[in-house]
A and B are shown apart, each in its own frame.
Chain A
């Protein structure tokens, strides 16, 4: 056994309790063979021993995230998160009472990374809903990414359990369980007429395909095909997604594009710990089946202050992270941070570099074309889509009618992807003449919005083609080529300057 490389690696992981050591116990072994990418942070003279003792983390590193202004570093920032809905405030409202619960006073936050925030959300779901069960491959011991750590001990093996290695089985089982919710006699759920709460884990989004039939032909159609008599609204399928630095073809995929035609299903991708907790609790409680994809590189890299109480964030609504007037960037998941960094590069290109030259030239064109003063610099509106299906087109159109330029960024393949879908939607103008009024909880001042009018304004106002920066249409993320597959900061920067100079 001593000579078995995988065994010694596991031993190393279990015996060396370094905070930087991560669990690599996933069944399709996710261990990088390329120390150079990740060992650069370590001192050069310790590199050989350090990499032997501490292989790169399964969750990977994301360098730009440490400096991100998008993460909430203080309690005050965290509590002021837009759209946050405190569960106790909701209860107060239902009871017609008012208390301090609707304010932020007395609320606490704790520093969490993404897997801890997800674990926190799962724990709240389990403690507030007796019908809730959490299950999947390797879930009982804590999960290969630690998202279910300690839950089996806390809530018992009846509610937090391992399943055999069958994704179609895991999701099918969840559908069956969720379909029974209204009959469980649980007043907290039965009264809402939604299913039992089944929180399934598919170990990697790359392995969701055996369950695609269950998700597309069963979960998404369950309510529709039964004339509303049955539903699986209680189903949430969690899966780690996106690239991680060393995941190769089968630990890096972003399959959300394949779900775009699955009406009846929701797809949600959070960008940070605070967002993950609120959006996961919303997904679990939403009366529709949800596929919740967690960018795995953020499990450890993203750390922020997260409120410890029970709260949700709205599904179906994107969020404007930075407001701007000259270009709209729409993205989600890991790419949010790369976009943030690219926008920073636009105003702070490395001095004396070729990049600085490119940016200066492009901004010169932009100023000439738009009649801006020599000192002005473009302001970019950054939108995190958060819910991928159904996505927040009204928010994008509102932004676009102000900025007139649109860039969409994601890791998943470009053809048939979310970016092309949105780009197509922006220029297709479904109802050219009819007035499609929509009222949404999240629309400004809650008034009716005329979608056709918004489409028209956005389309006629376009100053440049819509640009999509996605992964290439290769059959996956090739291991040693990842740097050139993933839309990184410089590709996004290039998209920004191209659009501005157009």
Chain B
């Protein structure tokens, strides 16, 4: 992408001009800008409008470290953990995607293609860093030991779902124990919240070594909340690592129609925060970049931005068919050339840490684990029907909530045994609605 700005930023020249002019013209109010005698238009954060922000990468497409790459500290056990969690995502996605297709759960979102971004950042964060996700970050929870049973319970919305008691659509996870704030569907709302979360950490003596980690996509970065959040976290300031998953698509809208500038990373310097762009399909690069971002964030007490460039191989969600707006061949090409799993597996094999047998064993194990959790979750009942009316207000229950619950109770007594649509539905709840009828 060529830019037309005609004035490249040349520090030496500018400094010389500034020193000559300071005495006669002084400084402008509210800025330390050097004074220049020609209009200096600019449209680049790299200083050269013909060059985009560089992307940080460690491994090439075949898993070989590129020239000058300094690999992060990594032993075999840690590498295996990374790879196993990366592999867990598609294995889980395969089954839950099909389960949704069979009508057993209402909705699902896969993370195909973004395994390295999600697991790489999860591994770089401390397990008690506060995570505010968008919706495709289940891998962070799995990395922290949330477990497959909890994942399944949430997706099925059964009585073991502690994320939301079956009130939210699948993939809206949350767990205070795992420092993972509940996902909500509105995009970008978590971004200014992350600044508040991080400010709370900063004010809390026992949490001074924690940061808030806030995930979102390049599409969400168009929302006002993105700008509000980065502005607050840089100005107030608060230690947030903002992690953008730039996967090329917001549902069907390609990133080329999402922004005209140099991605999301170009916005970071506008807010005065350290920013890095990284190859989001290189798990080691993501790991190294987020580690560094986290330590800068703690050091400065201010936001840091990491833009992970990736590609959404799957559809946006189970409600989407992406072949309506992109060629199947494009997706297949991406999967083949730039596969984060293959790349890291080749790296592991080159170190003698992985082989075909290990791969086979892992896939068999993961599939068995996922199926076991699925079979358990599938047969569980929902929460009690009376949970419809709980967790609205703390403290004294307002009259309207109580009255409306009583009204449903009255209607259940009157029609619950005769009205087929209710009868069928009541069987799915723990206590089959009797908890309300008894009131």
Q: Which residues of A does B touch, CB under 8 Å?
A: 131, 133, 158, 161, 163-164, 166, 168-169, 171-185, 194, 196, 198, 210, 213-214, 217-218, 221-231, 233, 263-264, 266, 286-288, 316, 390, 393-394, 430-431, 433-434, 436, 438, 440-441, 451
Contacts and interface: CB of A to CB of B under 8 A. Distances in A.
Contacts of A287: 394-395
A180 B399 contact: no
B235 interface: yes
B232 A438 contact: no
Contacts of A390: 393, 398-401
Contact of B195 (A158, A173, A210, A214): A173
The 7 closest A-B pairs by CB, nearest first: A176-B196, A172-B192, A169-B228, A176-B193, A180-B200, A390-B398, A287-B394
Contact of A172 (B181, B207, B229): B229
A175 B228 CA distance: 14
Interface of B: 130, 132, 161-165, 167-168, 172, 174-176, 181-182, 184, 186, 189, 191-201, 203-207, 212, 224-225, 227-229, 231-232, 235-236, 390-396, 398-404, 406-407, 409-410
B379 to A, nearest CB: 21
A225 B172 contact: yes
A231 to B, nearest CB: 7
Contacts of B197: 176-177, 179-180
Given A173-B192, A287-B395, A390-B398, A229 B176 contact: yes
A231 B394 CA distance: 9
A227 B391 contact: yes
B164 A225 contact: yes
A229 B396 contact: no
Given A177-B200, A180-B197, A183-B207, A288 B192 contact: no
Nearest to B154: A227
Contacts of B396: 316, 440-441
Given A169-B225, A288-B393, A430-B407, 10 more contacts: A172-B191, A180-B196, A183-B204, A210-B224, A214-B189, A218-B184, A223-B392, A225-B172, A226-B174, A441-B396
A180 B201 contact: yes
23 contacts: A163-B232, A166-B227, A168-B192, A172-B192, A172-B195, A173-B236, A175-B193, A178-B196, A179-B181, A179-B193, A180-B196, A180-B201, A184-B203, A214-B189, A218-B193, A221-B184, A224-B167, A226-B391, A229-B163, A231-B394, A263-B401, A430-B403, A431-B403
Contacts of B191: 172
B104 to A, nearest CB: 21
Contacts of B224: 166, 168, 210
Contacts of A171: 192
Contacts of B403: 430-431, 436, 438, 451
Contacts of B206: 185
Contacts of B189: 172, 213-214, 217-218
A305 to B, nearest CB: 29
B406 A431 contact: yes
Given A185-B206, A225-B164, A230-B181, A436 B196 contact: no
